[in-house]
Amino acid sequence: MAAIKQAAIALGVEKIDAAEKSGYLVFSAKSHIDPVALVQLVQNSDQSYKLQGSHRLQFRGDYSDLEQRFSTIEKVLDRLAVKQTVERPQ
């Protein structure tokens, strides 16, 4: 749980809420998420992920298992993180 909190703070996620059937993330105005990854997550999902406004991502599914909830949140945060590219000297 501490890892989720640290990742959320680093990405500028203000709030995380997850229940048995759905949950959501609320992004701050100055979040550090990858906008392309966010769009791809929503577009490539089978209605599991939806944007509500410009700062809230809702997810739906069967999260009755607590470990599944935490795992889903960790995966979403990891997917939305801006990936650093390494420049190679020429």
Helix (H) or strand (E) holding 20: none
Task: Answer whether residue 23 is part of any domain.
Answer: yes
For the domain that residue 66 is a member of, what is the CATH number?
3.90.1150.50
For 4-15, write each residue's pLDDT tens digit.
Answer: 999 999 999 999
Task: Answer whether residue 40 is part of any domain.
Answer: yes
Residues 6+ apart with CB under 8 A from 24: 15, 16, 17, 18, 52, 56, 57, 58, 59
The pLDDT, as a whole number, for residue 88 is: 59
Task: Answer whether residue 70 is part of any domain.
Answer: yes
Task: Answer whether residue 89 is part of any domain.
Answer: no
Task: Answer whether residue 33 is part of any domain.
Answer: yes
What pLDDT band is residue 2 in, cutting at 50, 70 and 90? confident
Residue 86 above 70 pLDDT? no
Residue 90 above 90 pLDDT? no
Task: Answer whether residue 88 is part of any domain.
Answer: no
For 31-80, write each residue's pLDDT tens digit.
Answer: 999 999 999 999 998 889 999 998 999 999 999 999 999 999 999 999 99
Q: What is the pTM of this model?
A: 0.84
The pLDDT, as a whole number, for residue 45 is: 86
Domain span at residue 23 reads 2-80
